[in-house]
Amino acid sequence: MVQKEIAIEMFYTGWPGNRVPDFPAAMCDAIMQKGAVPHITWEPWVSGIPSPLDGIIDGSYDAYLAGYAGQTKSWGKPLFIRVGHEMNGNWYPWCGQSNGGATTDGFGDLLKPDGPERFVAAYRKIRQIFDSVGVRNVSWVWCPNNFSTPYESWNQPELYYPGDDVVDWIGLDGYNWGASQSWSGWSSFYDTFNEIYNRFKSYPKPLMIGEFASTELGGNKGPWIRDVFFYTKLLYTRIKAITWFNINSETDWRVNSSLAALTAYQESVADPYYLSSVPVTEVHSPERELTELTFAAPSPNPSNGAVRLRVTLPQGALCALRVCNVLGQEVRTIVDGMLPAGPHEFTWDTRDQYGSDLPTGVYFALLQTNGVRSVQKIILTK
C-alpha cells in the first residue's frame, strides 16, 4: 500500500494468565518470510502483592520467563522485544502509578519513588533470566511515552531507565490525538516528540519511535506525515527506526485514512534514506565519526543578516553543505565538492539559489560527508 517494503514489523502479545511460555514463533516466521525483522511488544499483564510487578520481582513468573527465553533462543533469528512500554503513563498494570507511585517506603531504596523503582527491578529481572538462558538474538527496547501521566516529579521517564547494561534501544511513543478526544488538541510532530527526543538523545543507545500516528481530526494529516520524515531525516538524526500504528481504533490512525495522508506517506518513504530492509552487516558508526567532525552552531543565530557556518574536518572529504526550509526543500547550496582537512568557514547571505532574500522563518543547514549527516537550525528574523 505504501509502495515500499517494511523493514521492521511490530505486533503486540500479552503475558498469559496460565503462565505457559508462548513465544510467537509462527508470527515471527511469517514476518521473516516477508523480509522484515519481528518486533514484539510484550505486555506484562501480571499480578502480584501488593503491586502487580511484585509478581515478576518475587519470582512468581520465573518459570514462564525461562521457558519463553528458551523458546526465543531456539527460534534463533534476530528480533526486537519491547517489554513494559509507556510505563510513565497510568493506563497499564506495569505503570509506576499502579506499583507504588510516589511512595518511598514500600520497596527498595527509601530515597527513590517505589513505582519507577519496581519497574526497573522487574525489567532487570526479565533481562537477567534471558541472559542466564543464553539468549543472544534479542535487541531489548525500553520505551516511555512522550508525556507522563500524572505529570509529577516522581513519574518522569528518566527514573524508569533500567540501565545501559540491559537496554539496547531507547524507544519513544507519542500520538497526535487532534480533536478526536474531549481532552485533546492538535499537536504537530515537532511538539509531539521534541521534548522527549531531547531528553534521551545524549544516551549511548540508538533511538526509535516505538509507535506513533496522527488522527485526521482537528488539523491536516498530510503535512503532519511529511513533517515526520523531514524531522527524522534532518533534525532527529539519532532516530534509526520508526513504527507507524496503522490501526483504526480510538480514531483512524491508518496511513490510508485519506488519500492525502496516503500520498504523503508514499512520497515520504520513497526517499532512499528510509530503508526497506535492515542491513545484515554493521556499518561504521555515524556517532563515532561525528566526534571527530565538527559542525559549529551558526553565528549569529537568530540572525537578520549574513550567517557564518563553520566546519572542521579530520581529513579531506567530499562535502555537501545545503540550507533547507521547514518543508525539507533545498533553498541554497553552500558547498558541494572536495574539502581538505582542517577548519572551514562559509558565509550564507540568507538568499536563495536565485539571489532572492528569504523570508523570516526557521531554516536548517545540512552537512553531509562520508555517510555522516549533521544539522544546525537557523532562525531568520527580518
The stretches in the chain having pLDDT less than 70 are: 279-292, 327-328, 370-371
Place of cell 545484515: 280
Given the DSSP bridges, would you call strands 239-244 and 207-214 parallel, antiparallel or unpaired? parallel
Q: What are phi and psi of 269, to 5 degrees?
A: -75, -10
8-286: CATH topology is TIM Barrel (3.20.20)
- The pTM of the whole model exceeds 0.75: yes
Instruction: Fill in the DSSP letter of residue 43.
Output: E
* Segment 116-169, tens digit of pLDDT: 999 999 999 999 999 999 998 999 999 999 999 999 999 999 999 999 999 999
Q: Where are the domains of the chain?
A: 8-286, 288-380
* Segment 52-90, tens digit of pLDDT: 999 999 999 999 999 999 999 999 989 999 999 999 999
C-alpha to C-alpha distances, 101 to 146, 213, 255, nearest whole angstrom: 18, 28, 36
Q: Do domains 8-286 and 288-380 have the same CATH topology?
A: no
CATH architecture for the domain at 288-380 = Sandwich (2.60)
Q: What are phi and psi of 96, to 5 degrees?
A: -60, -40
